Amino acid sequence: QDTAAERSCMTYRAPELFNVPTTCKVDERTDVWSLGCLLHALCFFRTPYDAVHERGDSVALAVIAGKTNFPQGHPYSQDVCELIVSLLQVEPEQRPFMDWVVESIARLIDARSSRGQRSAAAELDATTDIDITDDQTIIA
């Protein structure tokens, strides 16, 4: 607990590090929590607990409560928000391991790339005139 206080910022600290029981098993899922806070900050310019810290309220209580809010009107998909929520599960046993996180992010990137390719293809179809004459294709 003392080491966590010295080496981690409160707004990125996993719930199990605020009040460390002697039986607590710390593994990569503790870092997955911090990654969830980092992804939230990268997307929304704030961790889920910055406002609590700024008000002077108990970050530990807010973290243990496990509420994750997202700004209204944000540009991110439901899948991105669900990924962040999955990383910010209060119980470490409910958080994913890093291999799952990496695979999930790869799927999100692939899905976005596929949508982008479909959109580009649709845009190309809508704006490109194709004239086929005598075994020649002319794209104008």
Q: At what angle do helices 78-87 and 28-44 cross, to 10 degrees?
A: 140
9/105: higher pLDDT = 105
Q: Tell me the pLDDT tens digit for each residue of 56-79.
A: 998 889 999 988 889 999 999 999
Residues 6+ apart with CB under 8 A from 83: 39, 101, 104, 105, 108
Q: Going along 18-127, which residue ranges are E strands?
A: none
Residue-level pLDDT at 96: 98
34 contacts 84 by C-beta, under 8 angstroms: no
Domain 2-128 has CATH 3.40.50.1220: no
Residue-level pLDDT at 137: 41
**What are the sequence ranges of the domains in the chain?**
2-128
119/29: higher pLDDT = 29
Residue 25: which pLDDT band, with cuts at 50, 70 and 90? Answer: confident
Residue-level pLDDT at 70: 94
Mean pLDDT across 38-63: 92
